[in-house]
Each structure stands twice: as C-alpha cells, then as structure tokens.
Amino acid sequence: MNRRDTLKLIGATTIAAAMPGGLAAFADTEKSMTVVVKIAGIPWFNALEQGIKKASKDFSINANMIGPANVDPAQQVKLLEDLIAKKVDCIGLVPLDNNVTAPVLKRAQAAGIKVITHEGPDQDGRDWNIDLIDSKKFGEVQMQRLAKDMNEEGEYVVYVGTLTTPLHNQWADAAIAYQKEHYPKMKLVTDRFPGADEIDTSYRTTLDVIKAYPNLKGILGFGSNGPIGAGNAVREKRLQKKIVVVGTVLPSQAKQLILDDIVREGFLWNPTDAGYAMVALGKLVLDGTEIKDGMDIPGVGKATVDAANKRIKVDKIMRINKETLDGLIAQGL
C-alpha cells in the first residue's frame, strides 16, 4: 500500500470512528429483511423475488428471499430459526402451515424482529399480513368460471398446495360453498387434493383422478403449478373437450394451455407487486409509521386496513385468458 492509499484509509477510519458506535454503526445503518416463501425456484416465487429486489433498492433496505427446496413447513421453521440467529430486523413469510410457524415467529417477535406475512391473515406471531386479493371473492370468481364451462352440472375436484396452506384452503372453502349455494347440479366428488405447488405432483394426481372418476368434468386448482400439471395430464389423455381446468396460474407458464383451451381461464394477483408490498410494509413498520385504513401502500395503492386483526388488503384480482394473456406476459408475468 502506498502513502496516498494509507492516508485515505486513515481518513476513512477516523470519520467512521467519530460516528456513534464507530465502524459498526457505519455498516449497520441499512435495515435488513428476509422473506421466507413456500418453495424456492418456481416461477411464482421467482416473480415475487423480483418485487423484493426492486423494493430493496427503492427503500434502501437490505431485502432478499429464501425458501425451502420442498413444500415442507418444517423446512420453513429451520429457515426462520436461522434468521432469528442472524438478528435480521424484519422477517417476511408466506406460510405453509400457520400452526407450525407460529411458535418460531413469536420467538422472533420476542427478539425484537418485526414480522410481515403474505397469504397468512390468521398467522399468529406476525405484526401485519398483507394480501392483494379478497380471499372469499378470489375463490368465488374461479368457481363461477368453472361452473360456466361445466354448464353448471357434473363432477369436479379441487387442488390446493397443501392441506394446511392457509389461503389456498380459504379459497377452496369459498369456492365450494359458492358451488353448493348456486350450482346444486355440480358435485365435489372427494376431498381436496394437495400438491398444487408442484407440476409433477398435480400431473400424477390428475392421471389418478381421471381413472378414479370417469365422469369428471372439472378441475379447480389453487396453487400456481396445479392447473399446469392438471392441464398437461388432460392434454396427454386428450380430454380437453370433456374436462375443464381453471385455477391460479402465471400467464407465461400457462400460455399454451390457455391458447389450446385446456386451461379455460386463470386467476392471480401480481406476485411481483406482492413481493414489493411486503418489503414496503416492512420498511414502514421498521420506521414506526402508523398503519391506518385508506393509506397508500407503495406499489399497490390504497389499502383496506383492519387494525384490530393486523390485516391489510388490496383488491388486485387479475384474469388470465386469451384476451389478457399477451399484455400480462409483456409486464413480465
């Protein structure tokens, strides 16, 4: 190191040392947030991660995303425990099982860590939950679309990510209740199936369902890979004129299935917006900002705030069909 570089280093050290806490304070001015999702590496959460990265830059918070390799609540707990040990400032979570993750989230809060959930309105151990849809409406509109293409009669099945995934099961409850009230000639032939977060699982499930229920007319999939796996199986068996597939999908993933009239219509909110909104909310909470009804949440707009239950909701349901497909894909979805 030459004399000029040495003087620069001494000067920088002197400035940092003059700050309260010295070098450590200089390095730690930026808050940290890590979002734990249901499973890493699938298109839905890849899109959500893009929102997290953008918000990280926009709000000067060190935010990132991690997730388990498999759909496993115990793996989520392990990741959350690691974050507590690392003393992050804020944890984000898209929960797989409210009961399994509640104890570790309470430990996080006891350690002074703020907790923001998405798709977890009933999750204990959180400061706030934010969702970009009305869960009841989200289930109902998908049942309406399924019923339309089934001519409001016949047998159908429902897929969810897991039998404990909070919002998937709320959507399924809403859809089934709506069917029973409005479409009495339709019949849910068996209990809902897990596996809709994984294409291969939902594909295999669909092949089994087709064999078990030869009169099947509809599949409703809650979990972005469920309709993809189901659609692939329906295509393979050349049953697209007999079996209707509807559900939660990403446009880019479902494009060919939609164009081929196998997935009749898809529904979602923008996962990129969801990731952005989680980090934006985390920063607001870390800054001590009052969260109140009607306030604007950066990236998603005016929100309905239920302060008593710590729930924030924005109605952003999007429909994916032949008319909207290209425009949504152009937006990066």
pLDDT exceeds 80 at position 12: no
What digits encode the pLDDT tens for the residues 188-213?
999 999 999 999 999 999 999 999 99
Report d(CA 207, CA 68) in Å as an integer.
Answer: 27
Say which residues have a Cβ less than 8 Å from residue 126's Cβ, sequence separation at least 6.
93, 105, 115, 116, 117, 120, 310
Q: What's the pLDDT at 122?
A: 93
User: Can you give the pLDDT at residue 11?
Assistant: 36
pLDDT surpassing 80 at residue 39: yes
pTM for the whole thing? 0.81
DSSP-derived 3-state class of residue 292: coil
Q: Where in the chain is the domain with CATH 3.40.50.2300?
A: 30-132+271-316, 135-268
**What digits encode the pLDDT tens for the residues 132-187?**
999 999 999 999 999 999 999 999 999 999 999 999 999 999 999 999 999 999 99
Cα–Cα distance, 303 to 169 (Å, whole number): 23
Measure the CA angle with vertex 304, ends 303 and 305; round to 5°: 105
200: exposed, middle or buried (C-beta count within 10 Å: 0-12, 13-18, 19+)? exposed
pLDDT at 27: 39
User: What are the tens digits of pLDDT across the range 241-281?
Assistant: 999 999 999 999 999 999 999 999 999 999 999 999 999 99
Q: How far apart are CA 38 and CA 167, in angstroms?
A: 12
The pLDDT assigned to 124 comes to 97
Mean pLDDT in the chain?
91
pLDDT digits (tens, 9 = 90+) for 100-111: 999 999 999 999
First to last CA, the chain: 50
What's the CA angle centered on 307, arms 302 and 311, to 5 degrees?
65
CATH number of 30-132+271-316: 3.40.50.2300
Distance separating alpha carbons of residues 167 and 137, to the nearest angstrom: 12
pLDDT of residue 198: 94
User: What's the token pair of residue 332?
Assistant: 């990066």
Answer CATH for 135-268 from 3.90.226.10, 3.10.620.30, 3.90.1010.10, 3.40.50.2300: 3.40.50.2300
CA–chain centroid gap for 320, Å, is 17
Distance of CA 249 to the CA centre of its chain: 12
Q: What is the pLDDT of residue 2?
A: 39
Q: Are 69 and 36 within 8 A, CB to CB? A: no
Confidence of residue 332 (pLDDT cuts 50, 70, 90): confident
**Residue range 315-326: average pLDDT?**
94
Distance, in Å, from the CA atom of 10 to the CA atom of 34, rounded to the nearest integer, reads 34
Q: How sure is the predictor about 331, in pLDDT bands with cuts at 50, 70 and 90?
A: confident
78-85: average pLDDT: 98
